[in-house]
Amino acid sequence: MKNLLFTKMTGAGNDFILIDKKINPEFEISTDIIIKICDRHFGIGADGVLLFDEDINSSFKLNYYNSDGSTGNLCGNGARCAVNYAYSKKMFDSKKISFLSNNQSYSAEMLAPNIVKFYLNKPQKIKMNFMVKAFNQLIKASFVNTGAPHIVLNCNDILKNPNDLNSKYDSVDDLPVTKLGRELRYHKDFLPDGVNVNFITNDRDNIKIRTYERGVENETLACGTGSVASAIAVFLNNGIKPPIKLIVQSGAELIVDFNYVNNNFENISLTGPAQIVYNGEFII
């Protein structure tokens, strides 16, 4: 048996197990271990794992894994948690830091205790207002890849009863997110990799959002890259200007900001809470 020392963290309710390689030099990551420790009944429980390590060319490097062991995509809330962890370890003195996440360079800054602003790269692909067949109806959707692939749907465009045009959902609070999200996550239009699914509704100055995440295969309490994708979609569709506030399922607030210059998104950032919940030891 081996003892794994870990830090449990949360970014607006999106929760992670951070494993510091410096503290656990002999630890070897594997799909089986990720699934085991992320299990909410027989493990620690989390949406994903943050493998944190020192790096010669930057402040630190981060590898993110979903709770099913899959990887390769950016996790915005996970990155913000890792930055707060590095700050707690006094790995940087200034408020701004550069680091690697899944071999790509990013930067972030501490705005206040447990409040992290994370800067994302430009969206890799945007496709607005196409129709997707799901839930026995055609629904308008938008696709934005913010380091992870996302589709964004307004709940007002979804019918409870496909045969009744007046049966639209008024709020994301009423949506069966897991059922609807799972169908779209595995939709043939998004094969072979699948897609994350964001449901939004405009609530005056705020956007309410709920997200079904692939790799977790369930709704999460928050999704950073999904919030950025949704903010970009409402900007292009509804002209809502940044900074854009989004209320995630946990009730926390995430703020997305950016500049839009010559049809290009620049200086994209995601700001919100990220904090250490507890430190612990897990027997493998």
> pLDDT tens digits, residue range 111-132?
999 999 999 999 999 999 999 9
Give the CA count within 13 Å in the CB-facing half-sphere of 1.
Answer: 5
pLDDT at 1: 63
Q: Is residue 25 reached through a cis peptide bond, with omega within 30 degrees of 0 on the bond before it?
A: no
Q: Report pLDDT for 169.
A: 94
Q: Give the start-end residues of each E strand in the chain.
A: 3-11, 14-20, 48-53, 61-66, 96-101, 104-112, 115-119, 125-134, 137-145, 149-154, 196-203, 206-213, 218-220, 244-247, 253-261, 264-273, 275-283
Would you tell me how many other CB atoms lie within 10 Å of the CB of residue 251? 10
Concerning whether 223 is annotated as a catalytic residue, the answer is: yes
Q: Are 10 and 255 in contact (CB under 8 A)?
A: no
Instruction: Indicate the residue type of 90.
Output: K
Tokens found for residue 131? 């129709």
Q: Does residue 18 contact residue 82 with C-beta atoms inside 8 Å?
A: yes
pLDDT for res 204: 66
The confidence score (pLDDT) of residue 153 equals 98
CA atoms within 13 A on the CB side of 27: 21
Alpha helices (runs of H) in the chain, residue ranges in sequence order:
31-38, 76-88, 177-185, 224-238
Which of 38, 81, 155, 223 does the annotation list as catalytic?
A: 223
Tell me the C-alpha distance between 139 and 131, whole Å. 5
The predicted pLDDT at position 102 comes to 86
pLDDT value of residue 57: 86
Residues in the chain, how many?
284
With a CB cutoff of 8 Å and minimum separation 6, the contacts of 140 are 129, 130, 131, 153, 154, 157
Q: Is 38 a catalytic residue?
A: no
The pLDDT score that the predictor gives to residue 95 is 84
Please choose, from the candidates 117, 69, 70, 67, the residue with its C-alpha nearest in 3D space to the C-alpha of residue 219: 67
Catalytic-labelled residue, pool 38, 75, 81, 155: 75
8 Å CB contact between 190 and 217: no
In whole angstroms, give the CA distance from residue 13 to residue 74: 17
Calculate ∠ Cα 9-104-113, nearest 5°.
35
Q: How far apart are CA 180 and CA 174, in angstroms?
A: 12
Residues of the chain with pLDDT under 50: none
